[in-house]
Each structure stands twice: as C-alpha cells, then as structure tokens.
Amino acid sequence: MNAILAALMFVVAQLSTTVPGSWTTGTPMPVARSEDSVAAIGNHIFVVGGYAQGTVDSARCDVYDASSSTWSRCANLPRGLNHVGVTAYNGKLYTFGGFIAQNRDPVTDANVYDPATNSWSSIAPLPHALGSISVAVLDGKIHLVGGRDVHSVATHLVYDPSTNSYTNAAPIPVGRDHMGMVAYKNRLYAFGGRIDTPADNVKDCHRYDPSVDRWTVCAAMLSKRSGMAVAVLDNMIFAIGGEYVGGVFPNNEAYDPQHDTWHSYAPLPHGGRHGTGAAAVGDRIYLPAGAPVPGGSRQSNTLFEFTP
C-alpha cells in the first residue's frame, strides 16, 4: 500500500500545475550539440566537446557570458571527444577521459584550460581509459567517480592539482556511468546513472564523506534516469532531464540534503533533454544544448534558464 501511495503522489506531483520554478529560453548556441560537457567559471559557462556538426568527436569549446547573454568561442580541446568529465577549480577547467567513438572507445586524456591564455595544457593522464566519468571538487581535490571502459565501473580516483597525481578512494557501491554528481558542504552526492545501458537505469543516491572515506545511501531519486544534468542552487541539488530506452525526460527534481528528501519542480520545456550538463550562475541554472531524443541522432542549440 505504501508503494502504491508513493507512486500516486509522484504522478500527482508531476501533473500539478503548481510545482515551483519556471523556465525561460536564452540566447541560442552557435552550433547544436549533445553529449557535451558543461562547467562554469564565474559568470562564464563553458560547453566542451560532444556530438556536433555531424561528428561524434567534436573538439569545439563555446563559452556563454551570463552577464551579457552572448556566446563566443574558446580554444578547442586538444582532440575531439564526447562524454568528457569536466569541472572548474581555481579559475580553470579540468577535463578527464571521454570517448573518441560514439559512446565507446575511452581515452586516458586529461587537460587543463586557462581562460587567461585561452589555452589547454596536458596534465597527468588517467591511470586507465574511461569515459562518462562524474567529476566534482572537494577541498582542493578533484574526485572522479564511476564511468565506463567496456562496462560501467565503480572506480573512485582523486586528482590533486598541486601534485599532478592520482590516488584511489573508496569505490562507489553501485558502479555506473552517465551519473550525476555534485559536491555540497564537503560531501559528494551521486545520483542515478546506468549500468552499461539505459535499459539498466538506476535511481540510487549515494553520499561520500571524505573524512572517513566512505559512501552511504541517501534517498533514492523519484525516477530512474541517466544522462541528466545536475547543479546546486539555493541549497538544493537539481537533477534535470535524462534518458531512458525510447525517450528523454523533462523531469526536474531537486534533492534536499538537509532533510534527505526529493521534490518536483517545473519540468523542462520542449519535451526534455539529455546528454548535456548544467551550471548555476547567480540566481538561476543554465542548461545548454543536449539531445531532444534518445541516443545521438539529434542535437539542439537551445539554452534553457531555470529560476526556482
């Protein structure tokens, strides 16, 4: 009975016209993209690699200035990749791994981008080739969790920018790729993802405490999703869009770390997106590009902006 009641409550929440938040459409991207990677430095939102212009190994880098609502080019990645792990730290972008073919053939590439010089430099390569890694920064270290070589992995690497080296940390309990992950108040939160294929999407939530090198279970997502975009805003962790076999999600659900609960927010317009990232700048979340259909057959150049 409790499971039935929970399911009914979820349906009501999704259908409700009173779910909080609203979406607007910003300046379109210069080129349609998907399976790209997104990170922000200050007011600038970077979109790196992915599928674009008929290729699955784009090296393209575009940057959006949220203060002026304009797009410009940034220096290309050293080589074209999709599903690159990316994060911002100390005013620079760091990228790890990725695929050279469509969602397969991973690499060990790792690079850092300096906006001051508009240039990329190589850093220590990954210990083994991975794509679709989830990446976040905790206390000056860059955590790389999950991803896929031939199959989904539970690997948890920690990159130290000060020593340009990797160490191993506790693996995530359920190895997966296409997973959402953020850092919040000195913890990692990892959501959803897939075990090898979108037919095996999960709604797992795991929280990592670096002080004891341990993962614990947190409240599961409201829906099984992979390839979603995640961002932190107003002390909530938003999980937006995603992919399943046969379709894409418009779902916009937020996790409250204070109370270990999930809440529904206004869904994505235009039927949803998957295969991109999101970044919180100021009082809103920006979600550029992404695919409006499952797989990689179509890309979009939309820029959606969400205000809770």
Cα-based torsion angle of the residue sequence 286, 15, 299, 280 in order, rounded to the nearest 10 degrees: 10
- Counted domains in the chain: 1
Q: Which domain holds residue 34?
A: 22-307
What's residue 169's pLDDT?
98
Counting Cβ atoms within 10 Å, is residue 167 exposed (0-12), middle (13-18) or buried (19+)? exposed
Residue 220 lies in a domain: yes
Quick check: is 10 in a domain? Answer: no
Phi-psi category of 67—alpha, beta or left, where left has phi over 0 and alpha has psi -120 to 50?
alpha
For β-strands 156-160 and 165-168, DSSP reports them as antiparallel
Q: Which residues contact 96 (CB under 8 A, 6 or more apart)?
A: 84, 85, 86, 109, 110, 126, 130, 133, 135, 142, 144, 159
Nearest to 194 by CA among 63, 294, 123, 112: 294
pLDDT tens sequence across 182-221 = 999 999 999 999 999 999 999 999 999 999 999 999 999 9
Residue 18 pLDDT: 83
The enclosing domain of 121 has a CATH number of 2.120.10.80
- Flag residues of the chain having pLDDT under 50: 1-16
> Considering the domain boundaries, does residue 16 fall inside one?
no
Please report whether residue 3 resides in a domain: no
pLDDT at 220: 98
**Position 1 in a domain:** no
Asked whether residue 184 is domain-assigned, the answer is: yes
Which of 212, 215, 153 lies closest to 178, judged by CA?
153
Q: For residue 230, tell me if it sits in a domain.
A: yes
So what's the pLDDT on residue 17?
54
User: Does residue 69 belong to any structural domain of this protein?
Assistant: yes
